Structures are given as structure tokens and as C-alpha cells.
Amino acid sequence: MMNALTLSELERLLKNKWIWCLLVCTPILAYVAGNYLLDSSNVISAGLFMVEGLQVNLYLMCNIAVAAIVGAVFTEEYRGGQLRLLFLRSYSRANIFFSKLIVINIMIVVLLIVMAISLSIIGLVQFPHEGENQISLVLTIKIIAPYYFMAYLTLMGISCLFSYMALISKNVSFMLGLCVGYVLVTLLFDGLYLYFANLFESGSLIHELVAYALIPYMQHTGLYSALNGNIHSISAMAIILVFYMFVFVWSAYRRFVIDDYLY
């Protein structure tokens, strides 16, 4: 039953033209990232551009894309009345809710795959891939694979928060405003919570917990720290992501399953 419901949800989502717009815009974002990094003073290889290019887009554009996907899956269907039809069928609300979460995560993976392919192609064209700037394929894969996996985990974590925001929003525009506001406030006022983080010993677990409590800043800075093997950064990010996944999935689940959605 869950497989059929998940496929049905995925088909319904793919009929939304905005989802296809997101996927089409992904190569454009990769190209813009390439031009931005070309203008910087840092010299990177074509392989490492897959990491640098994703990092440039991850904390802002990818989060906004995930917000749009969550809005299409939850808010748009609910406020448009499409969920009423599902509630009248034999599926339980719990099955519908978790099938939607599965679809959101499928689309996050698709988004990252499209981004990776776009960045690899643009990297081969725009960045050096021979001589002293070339890093071995094995080393490059050892860097790319963990980074993309951690990026997926952060996007999955923030999608849990966005799912709850979607279910308390009256329409998609309001939901997107909440999500974009959360991302921008996190990035613009990072000095505020970094001030509190600096009250503790630099590099300690409690310092990292405070510094990376908000996911966009974790994506901006924390992933590199974790990639370098900082055990406190890894532990802090794991705790924070588990917290997001548990608290906001449970809150969204309660809102979706228990509350009356037919008002």
C-alpha cells in the first residue's frame, strides 16, 4: 500500500510545473557558481568544483528549492483541497503523511544528483583538470561522496522544519515567506548566536552545538569542519539534525494526523 501511495504522490508532484522549473534552473545555478568561483582568488580543480559549487548554493538556493518542494507536497495540496480526496480513500492519514516525507526526500536526492551532474560538466569546461591542479580521482571521490551525503542530511533535516511550517501556513506564499525568512535571518544574524557560542571553549562540543544550531549556518561553515574530521563538529551536527528530524517530524505528524484538516 505504501509503495502505491508513494508512487501516486510522486506522480502528483511531478505534474507540478514549478518542480520542473527547479530542476531546469539547477544547471543555471551551477553555471553561476562556476563564474563566481572563477572570479575568486582560489584555484580549484574540476573535481573539487563539485564540492565548492554545491557549497555556494547549498545554504541559500538549495534550501529555498527544498522549501518549494515541501510547499508543493503539503501546503498546496491541502489548501487546494486535494487532500480531502485522499482522506476519503482507504489510506490512513499516517500512511499519507509518511509517503509525502518519502517523496520529499526522493526529490532532494534528485536535486542533488542534477546539481552534481551539472557541476561536473561545468567543472570540466571551466576549471583546470591536468597538471598541478589535478587531484587524484580516488581522493576527489573521498571528498565528494561524504560532502554530498552530509549535504543531503542537512537538507533532509531542514525539510522536517519546513514540513511543519507548511502545515501551519494558510497558503504556499506564506509558507515560503516563513522558510526564506528563517534562512535569511540565520545567515544575516549569525554573529548573534556565534557570540553566545564563543562564551564556551572554541571547538568544544557545546560551542559547536550553539554555533550550528541553525541549519543554514551549519551548511555554510560546519560541513567543511566535519569534512576535516572534527569530531565535535560531527557530533554536534548529528545531535542537531536528529533533534530537527524528531521534533519537527513529530510536530508535523501530530498536526497532519490528529488535527482537523477539513476546516
57, 33 contact by CB (below 8 A):
yes
Query: pTM of the full predicted structure?
Result: 0.89
Q: How confident is the model at residue 96 (pLDDT cuts 50, 70, 90)?
A: confident
Q: How confident is the model at residue 259 (pLDDT cuts 50, 70, 90)?
A: low
Q: How confident is the model at residue 244 (pLDDT cuts 50, 70, 90)?
A: very high
Mean pLDDT of 235-258: 93
What are the distances in angstroms from CA 218 to CA 36, 48, 233? 21, 20, 9
**pLDDT attached to residue 155:** 97
84, 178 contact by CB (below 8 A):
no
Nearest alpha-carbon partner for 259 in 104, 87, 103, 102: 87
For residue 74, give the amino acid letter. F
pLDDT higher than threshold 70 for residue 130:
no
**What average pLDDT is seen over the chain?**
85
pLDDT higher than threshold 60 for residue 212:
yes
Lowest mean pLDDT among 173-182, 183-192, 234-243: 183-192
Residue for grid cell 568544544: 204
- Choose between 249 and 128: higher pLDDT: 249
Mean pLDDT of 199-214: 91
The Cα–Cα gap between 125 and 144 comes to 18
Mind listing the pLDDT tens digit for each residue in 113-125?
999 999 989 988 8
pLDDT higher than threshold 60 for residue 80:
no
User: Any residues with CB less than 8 A from the CB of 220 and at least 6 apart, and which?
Assistant: 55, 58, 59, 187, 190
pLDDT higher than threshold 80 for residue 82:
no
- Cell readout for 166 is 507548511
The Cα–Cα gap between 164 and 106 comes to 18
H or E element in which residue 152 lies? helix 137-168
- Choose between 257 and 89: higher pLDDT: 257
Mind listing the pLDDT tens digit for each residue in 35-58?
888 777 666 777 788 899 999 999
Q: Where are the domains of the chain?
A: 2-257
Mean pLDDT of 2-14: 83
The Cα–Cα gap between 33 and 55 comes to 9
55, 112 contact by CB (below 8 A):
no
**pLDDT attached to residue 12:** 84
Mean pLDDT of 109-138: 77
